Amino acid sequence: MLRGPSRLVGWATGGLAAGAVIAAAAVPGMAGARPAPDTPLQIQSASLAQQGQQLVWQIQLAQPFSPGGLAQDHRTLCLLLSGARPAGASAQLCVAGPARRSTTPRILYSPISRGGVVGRARAVAATITRASDSALAAAFLPSDVGIGYAPLRWQVISAVLPPACGASTGCSTAFPSNPPLLLLHTPRVVGCAPNGPSLVYSGPAHTRQIALTFDDGPSYTPPPSAFLSVLERDHVPATFFEIGEQIATYDHGGAYERRMLADGDMIGDHTWSHPDVTRLSPAEQRAQLLGTAAAIRKAAGGFTPCLWRPPYGSVSPSIVSLARSLGFITVMWDVDPRDWTTPGVPAIYGNVIANARDGAIVLQHFGGGPRYETVAALSQEIPTLRHEGYTFVTVTEMLGLRLLYR
């Protein structure tokens, strides 16, 4: 925790001011070779790289170290970040010991003003691993540390603070000696990894989550943009199960698919021509699934779905097994307002609200007939469900599936 605002001198070629780094929480240090009390921990190697959505910071020291013991020894180990132009750091991330009742090290983030003042520290949601007692790796989202997917410079500073270091500005070493440029790019989702059960009707019943799903599109009555505009306005993600043969007809160039993915929505496979797949041969079933996956991949610029939904809800153990062998989880539903019968906006809305529950997967349609009632009902469903405490998620998020990025 910071003892008060500190001032940062700038990028280090010989070190930073003593107040430029955060003191970590103190726990007993690790046994092993240790440098002199007034000597910084020596950095053998360090790297910062983009992996999908995340930045991954890796450090290897010349000796064992305890994240919790850094503060006890008046030491700091921090990553400095800035924009592409080397005009001084704009953020720092420092290794710290575990929080109370935890054994996992933390990464503390502090913003740095243009005047070099280090702001209040807070822990970020980083995934921290240790391959050895002299190494550490931390993965985190750029947005969690106040930056976007733009070029940046970075440098790792190992420092000893007064009174352990006699110099009034502290003793530090930097790696690398000059901050290198890292070119970040906005990650693009290209798929998802199936995991867990092969057939699902709902998500976990202990979380206040709900997944809105839409079948039978794309279509023109109305176009997918009508649904997307409502979801975008209310910042709600959804899952769309598409019919393969309709993609080229109703979504020339894949504009809707790309918009869905950019919004954080998920796209699933709803077969090529919407048949009862239980009446098809295994070869025909494969063609229905793989043909649609290929159409989605072409339209969406490389995205391959890992979810599929059987038309009419017709399912069998054999098709579930075949789908899983092809990389698909079979997704059913547990809330069905039967909007395909066009029962009227109040009926669709009332059914969804009355049957909503924790972990529910709601079936509605964005194709297969005129779906203006569904769009209108959706505009009413969202605020009511949100008022009732539900968080909206995609099916992949509800099932805890890992997204693949490029």
Q: Is residue 1 part of a domain?
A: no
Q: Which of 393, 386, 389, 383 is nearest to 362 (CA)?
A: 393
pLDDT for residue 25 is more than 70: no
Q: Is residue 277 part of a domain?
A: yes
In percent, the amount of the chain with pLDDT more than 70 equals 90
Check if 365 is active-site.
Answer: yes
Any idea what DSSP says for residue 146? Answer: T
Q: Where are the beta strands (DSSP E) in 229-328?
A: 239-242, 266-269, 307-308
**Contact call for residues 81 and 89 (beta carbons, < 8 A):** yes
Domain boundary among 154, 182, 210: 182
260 plus 141 within the same structural domain: no
Q: Give residue 23's domain range.
A: 6-182
Domain boundary among 182, 208, 240: 182
Domain boundary among 159, 182, 205: 182
231 plus 298 within the same structural domain: yes
Check if 215 is active-site.
Answer: yes
Catalytic residue among 215, 251, 269, 339: 215
pLDDT bin (cut points 50, 70, 90) of residue 33 is: low
Range with the lowest mean pLDDT among 3-7, 92-96, 338-342?
Answer: 3-7
Q: Which of 79, 78, 92, 72 is nearest to 164 (CA)?
A: 72
99 plus 211 within the same structural domain: no
CA distance 406 to 392: 25
**Contact call for residues 348 and 364 (beta carbons, < 8 A):** yes
Number of domains in the chain: 2
220 plus 98 within the same structural domain: no
Catalytic residue among 74, 270, 274, 365: 365
256 plus 391 within the same structural domain: yes
Residue with tokens 């969406």: 300
Query: What are the b/e assignments for 68-96, b being 16+ CB within 10 Å?
Result: bbbbbbbbbbbbbbbeeeeebbbbbbbbb
Mean of pLDDT values over 109-128: 93
Q: Is residue 207 part of a domain?
A: yes
86 plus 131 within the same structural domain: yes
pLDDT bin (cut points 50, 70, 90) of residue 34 is: low
pLDDT for residue 13 is more than 60: no
215 plus 154 within the same structural domain: no
pLDDT for residue 275 is more than 80: yes
49 plus 139 within the same structural domain: yes
Of residues 220 and 85, the one with the higher pLDDT is 220
pLDDT bin (cut points 50, 70, 90) of residue 31 is: very low
pLDDT in tens, 157-208: 999 988 777 665 558 899 999 999 999 999 999 999 999 999 999 999 999 9
Query: What confidence score (pLDDT) does residue 228 get?
Result: 98
- 318 alpha-carbon distance from chain centroid: 33
